[in-house]
Structure 1
Amino acid sequence: MHPVTAEVTERIIERSRETRAGYLAGVETARAAGTGRAKLSCANWAHAFAAESDADKKTLRDPTAPNIGIVSAYNDMLSAHQPLERFPAIIKAAAREMGAAAQFAGGVPAMCDGVTQGRPGMELSLFSRDVIAMATAVALTHDAFDAALLLGVCDKIVPGLTIGALAFGHLPVIFVPAGPMTSGISNGQKAKVRALYAQGQATREELLDSEMASYHGPGTCTFYGTANSNQMMMEMMGLHLPGSAFVHPNTPLRDALVAAASRRAVEIRDGTNAYAPMGQVVDEKSLVNALAGLLATGGSTNHTLHLIAMGRAAGVQLTWEDFDDLSRVTPLLARVYPNGTEDVNAFQAAGGMAFVVRQLLDAGLAHDDVMTVAGPGLRRYQTEPFLEDGKLTWREGPAASLNADILRPVDNPFHAQGGLRLLNGALGRAVMKTSAVKAQDLTVEAPAIVFEDQDALQAAYHRGELNRDFIAVVRFQGPRANGMPELHNLTPPLGVLLDKGFKVALVTDGRMSGASGKVPAAIHVTPEAADGGALAYVRNGDVIRVDALKGTLEIKVDEHELRARPRAACPPSGPGYGRELFGMMRRAASTADTGACSLFEAA
């Protein structure tokens, strides 16, 4: 192992010793209690399969026959989730081949950040993760299953499913993805039209034509944002079948992988030699593997929240310092839009996850000695699936990159360090995605212009007031203020100003998109303004310095003078769009650096 990876892993293990032991004790208690349906009364159990076919009823009344629970985030508004509509039938047919049954245990909500960007509904987005976790628990709490298959792909859905399923850590759990849509217009062309529209040089019709040519069919959006980062992490954590992440939907190979996940869930249930409970698959080492993959591929900053929350659900305590220390030794191996010009399909063609896994293991930057749903060892994930005479099998993935403009080996990376940096200073703690930021923009010192929301910044831009060097402070965007919406709509105007040669950066207690690009942004600032953070005291003209090279976030105002100022008042979260229903989650939310989660006791 690389000495830093080994040291960080060991300190996570030590830090988590008590909480992890408590979690595993609960897992063992649930396992020792035996299969749930064996404890159900005849009336209880009859309710559980009253609507099944006669053949499935015959299977299900046998207390030794396996039963697989399906939890799905299907809806046909999310392109990535629309293919999930077909999956339950495939899963059930494959289970029957194994002498087992599969039942649709429950659905979970799945909102599309792409639809709600810049809209009031985005204030529900982060906490939809916590709702999904609870909905997953509701689905599985019938205690009628030997294993579970989780169907979900996008931003908050996979972390929510993970958190919820970890409450049933005695069950084997396999994630079943849908895969990316085929490539549309080039990402460069899409970005160009967005920039033209931001400058008033393209019409709304032209912009819509461009967006529809990009987001054009079933499957995950092809840029490398949170959704595709989720899929990468599920591979690195051993919760997918190997190579499942980036196979297109509605293809024979994808259908074969769905069926194989069903069969594998039967094979790894309790009572078999291959038993692989989720609570053992997700541990300190597998979480470090997920983090290594995130850093090596320039993945989503949203996972500085989600990975911490997922870890807490398994009794593992991750910190932003762990992210930062591993980022300093994990080279950037991939450039996928917006960190590069090509999309996730080109990444897959260049070698994909099989290549990344091989490189990280060979360099000692990831752990091989982990349990996975495919069997012991992460090396299994340097293989890729294919069909041979219609039968699913796996072969070794490419040992060399097939396109060095997209994917590179550890000894010739795009950058010697990963794509995330922790910032500390008088303004608090923040994270910054550096993988797409030019070297000259990693340090910005300029006067602050303070905004209470993203709409105010947009309005100032359109009035022509921002053609200068400045640091945009967009505050009261944290989890306790308004649910921590993404501020992705700020990227086009700030990007235009950057292209004009101005020194521009963003400092916010909110989030940026998982596809954050070239604009330097200190995000997730904690303590947030609504919780007494220094951002609540910043005024227009205060000089702020964002320095990703030194890892600092400073304000050129004496701390006593800063805190002597009147504190800005947090605007109330607006009515409508369901926001009224999430007040308790905002009040219960933990800080960004502990996962911005409403489901756990305060750290």
Structure 2
Amino acid sequence: MSLHPVLAAVTDRIRSRSAASRSLYLAGLERARTKGPVRQALGCTNLAHAYAAAPAGDKIMLREMRRPNLAIVSSYNDMLSAHQPYERYPEILKRAAREAGATAQFAGGVPAMCDGVTQGEPGMELSLFSRDVIAMATAVALSHNMFDAALCLGICDKIVPGLLIGALHFGHLPTIFVPGGPMPSGISNDEKARVRQRFAKGEVGHEALLASEEKSYHSAGTCTFYGTANSNQMLMEVMGLHLPGAAFVPPNTPLRDALTAAAAKRAAEIGAEGAEYTPVGRVVDERAIANAIVGLLATGGSTNHTIHLVAIARAAGIVIDWDDFRDLSDVVPLLARVYPNGRADVNQFHAAGGMGYVIGELLDPGLLHGDTLTVAGEGGLARYRQQPCLDEAGRLAWRDAPRESGDASVLAPAAAPFSTDGGLKLLAGNLGRAVVKTSAVKPEHRRVEARARVFDTQEAVMAAFDLGELQRDFVAVVRYQGPRANGMPELHKLTPILGVLQDQGFHVALVTDGRMSGASGKVPAAIHVTPECLAGGPLARVRDGDLIVFDAEHGVLEARVDAAEWQARRPADAALEDARQGMGRELFAAFRANALGAEQGAITFLAAEPAAPATAAHVAPVHDHFAFTRGVTA
């Protein structure tokens, strides 16, 4: 079937916008490729250092340099459930590489922090910037010039984007992402949310809340709600960077181990010296980025990817913005209902047909580019309509995914979707540009017109709730939460209390230059407001009592304040010192100083624009693509 005209138009727009930076990126990729396996040019001392500790058999192959050598870059740690299964992976991967006539070396580890652990804590203010630390750590791991391909082991929020950004700076290397899989289902997400709201109202205590959380997060594997971690796995699949169907197979199972081994064997086949050379910088092209946006919208994925996908694209010389998300959202149907957009978890999503079903339903009406390059080889994205399985002999095989949903409450066909749009809206007005995830918000809550209550921290909102000051219609404006202010933490602790107020019949909404994450739920939230307050953003002009119009249906975010008064207002002062001291936050001063805005991916590895005063020029947001290409030389 022919490509949907809106997908075609958006992709063409991305390609045109990116022409200069993408051309420079690909030229750099070709220069790196033509040098061949770099280890052939390493000196004897360099080589001896590089395989001094290798097993004897591997050492022979590494010395002869006739077989591919694979880099393993892992986010393993045993504190975080999603990453604990990676403890076993290096040995599986090395053994499989040897069976394929190759070698594999553990090239480096990257940090992995959990927003679920740091939520509401000072460490959360390192979270977004950890993505760029991971990208740099990936570059360090690959910088030894010993490798023909890479295997990236990562799951959660910032880890996969960071690994991919780092890998794309070695775009000549084929790269396969190796997932870990979700933990078994615990208590229902509805029950978890109910207990959280009861705790917020003071109806249950700490022990009851902890018991509920322990039943939700109880085993090795990824959290089972559809937040950023599981959105990452969906994206790697729809971008062709996983083996088909690998995203949601549980850890520590024979099928998962078989897929892990197969990833190493496939990486050996697509290395620089093979007949199927598949560099990651060619896989991640304009079509793959457009496919990623479509997949995010069709599954109701994490709002964090309105930041991360921008940064990933930029690492490949590709320029996207929130207009692209908005225009695709208008035509991409919502095919999945997974918490917080529904009651199911990712295990139920996978059992109902999972990624194979979703990709098939999007390919048929031309809502995905089917002709993309993928790590799976011939057949393009159509290969990802398949599901992995073990045959009667216990060997890995693939079969066609079902063409009908296994659970109509979880997966819907494109011809009869849960919603005709992707549930991600762009808001704009005199407060700036923002995104709102509407797929979990009931239509009657998508427009709120109410007076502002202005806060500088989520703790201040919670304190006002505890004092009974929020029992009314209002818009919570939480300011100075952007990347340059305090690292743009998630404000996840606001979800239960705002949900309580909404359930009591009040019209409430959140407007912030911070994040709400993949857990964005039933309360309307205009997030990632840009320009951020510290960069002269107009959100810093809002005062208590201002009338705020939040209209997700018509894309409006405005303060209804007399124009002359609005122009005359100066930004409110920000007390940020407490958000910049302790818990290692001092080490990230350079990240805060250099961070671009949310719509520019909050990137810290390009020079930031200087903070601007709150003048009339910042009332209407400036849409500047030049920031993406400034300073690009290779």
Q: How many residues align?
A: 603
Separation in 1, partners of 2:309, 2:574: 28
* 1:325-374 Cα distance to aligned partner (Å, 9 max, x none): 00000000000011101100000011100000001100111001110000
2:415 aligned to 388, 411, 415, which one?
Answer: 411
State the match for 2:490 in structure 1.
486
Separation in 1, partners of 2:253, 2:228: 24
State the match for 1:261 in structure 2.
263
* 1:253-311 Cα distance to aligned partner (Å, 9 max, x none): 00000000000000001122211000000000001111100000000000000000000
State the match for 2:615 in structure 1.
none
Separation in 2, partners of 1:78, 1:25: 39
Structure 2 counterpart of 1:363, one-letter code: P
- Structure 1 residues 99-498: aligned runs within 5 Å: 99-376=101-378, 377-388=380-391, 389-498=393-502
* 1:414-461 Cα distance to aligned partner (Å, 9 max, x none): 000002100010000000000000000111000000001111000000
State the match for 2:596 in structure 1.
590
- Structure 1 residues 427-576: aligned runs within 5 Å: 427-572=431-576, 573-576=579-582
Equivalent residue of 2:73, what SS?
Answer: strand
Structure 2 counterpart of 1:85, one-letter code: E
Structure 2 counterpart of 1:215, one-letter code: Y
Separation in 2, partners of 1:151, 1:352: 21
Separation in 2, partners of 1:510, 1:200: 27
Structure 1 counterpart of 2:390, one-letter code: L
Decide which moves more: 563-572 or 316-325.
563-572
Kept in 2, the 8 Å contact 1:179–1:246? The answer is yes
Equivalent residue of 1:514, what SS?
Answer: coil
Following superposition, the deviation at residue 559 of structure 1 comes to 3.4
Equivalent residue of 1:219, what SS?
Answer: coil
Following superposition, the deviation at residue 600 of structure 1 comes to 2.3
Equivalent residue of 1:245, what SS?
Answer: coil
State the match for 1:78 in structure 2.
80
2:67 aligned to 65, 68, 76, which one?
Answer: 65
Separation in 2, partners of 1:495, 1:191: 10
Separation in 2, partners of 1:194, 1:145: 48
Separation in 1, partners of 2:517, 2:366: 30
1:577 aligned to 566, 583, 587, which one?
Answer: 583
Kept in 2, the 8 Å contact 1:299–1:419? The answer is no
Whether 1:599 and 2:601 are equivalent positions in the alignment is no
Separation in 1, partners of 2:606, 2:251: 35
Structure 2 counterpart of 1:477, one-letter code: Q
Following superposition, the deviation at residue 103 of structure 1 comes to 0.2
Following superposition, the deviation at residue 570 of structure 1 comes to 2.0
Separation in 1, partners of 2:221, 2:446: 34
Q: TM-score, normalised to structure 2's length?
A: 0.95
Following superposition, the deviation at residue 34 of structure 1 comes to 1.3
Kept in 1, the 8 Å contact 2:300–2:336? The answer is yes
Separation in 2, partners of 1:541, 1:180: 45
Equivalent residue of 1:371, what SS?
Answer: coil
State the match for 1:51 in structure 2.
53
Separation in 2, partners of 1:424, 1:273: 49
Following superposition, the deviation at residue 561 of structure 1 comes to 1.2
Structure 2 counterpart of 1:384, one-letter code: Q
Kept in 2, the 8 Å contact 1:68–1:145? The answer is yes
* 1:53-90 Cα distance to aligned partner (Å, 9 max, x none): 11111111111121000000001111110000100000
Structure 1 counterpart of 2:520, one-letter code: S
Following superposition, the deviation at residue 464 of structure 1 comes to 0.5
Kept in 1, the 8 Å contact 2:448–2:507? The answer is yes
Kept in 2, the 8 Å contact 1:424–1:551? The answer is yes
Structure 2 counterpart of 1:506, one-letter code: L
Kept in 2, the 8 Å contact 1:426–1:559? The answer is no
Equivalent residue of 1:43, what SS?
Answer: helix
Following superposition, the deviation at residue 558 of structure 1 comes to 2.6
Separation in 2, partners of 1:135, 1:196: 42
Separation in 1, partners of 2:575, 2:365: 49
Separation in 2, partners of 1:399, 1:566: 58
Kept in 1, the 8 Å contact 2:36–2:272? The answer is no
Separation in 2, partners of 1:419, 1:211: 28
* 1:511-553 Cα distance to aligned partner (Å, 9 max, x none): 0021210010000000111111111111000000110110110
Kept in 2, the 8 Å contact 1:77–1:112? The answer is no
Unaligned runs of 5+ in 2: 609-626, 628-634
Separation in 1, partners of 2:173, 2:540: 45
Separation in 2, partners of 1:601, 1:578: 23
Equivalent residue of 1:488, what SS?
Answer: coil
Kept in 1, the 8 Å contact 2:68–2:273? The answer is no
Structure 2 counterpart of 1:594, one-letter code: Q
> Which runs of 4 or more aligned residues in structure 1 lie more than 3 Å from their structure 2 counterparts after TM superposition?
none
Unaligned runs of 5+ in 1: none
Separation in 2, partners of 1:559, 1:429: 19
* 1:1-56 Cα distance to aligned partner (Å, 9 max, x none): 11101000001000000000000000000001111110101110010010111111
Kept in 2, the 8 Å contact 1:537–1:563? The answer is no
* 1:77-109 Cα distance to aligned partner (Å, 9 max, x none): 111100001000000000011111100000000
Separation in 2, partners of 1:43, 1:537: 61
What do you get for the CA RMSD once the two structures are aligned? 0.7
Following superposition, the deviation at residue 560 of structure 1 comes to 3.2
Equivalent residue of 1:10, what SS?
Answer: helix
Structure 2 counterpart of 1:492, one-letter code: P
Following superposition, the deviation at residue 574 of structure 1 comes to 3.3
Structure 1 counterpart of 2:472, one-letter code: R
Following superposition, the deviation at residue 601 of structure 1 comes to 4.0
Decide which moves more: 333-342 or 593-602.
593-602
Kept in 1, the 8 Å contact 2:296–2:302? The answer is yes
Separation in 2, partners of 1:76, 1:424: 43
Equivalent residue of 1:422, what SS?
Answer: strand
Decide which moves more: 319-328 or 272-281.
272-281
Structure 1 counterpart of 2:598, one-letter code: A
Equivalent residue of 1:372, what SS?
Answer: coil
State the match for 1:23 in structure 2.
25
Equivalent residue of 2:604, what SS?
Answer: coil
Equivalent residue of 2:80, what SS?
Answer: coil
Following superposition, the deviation at residue 228 of structure 1 comes to 0.2
* 1:445-480 Cα distance to aligned partner (Å, 9 max, x none): 000000011110000000010000000000000000
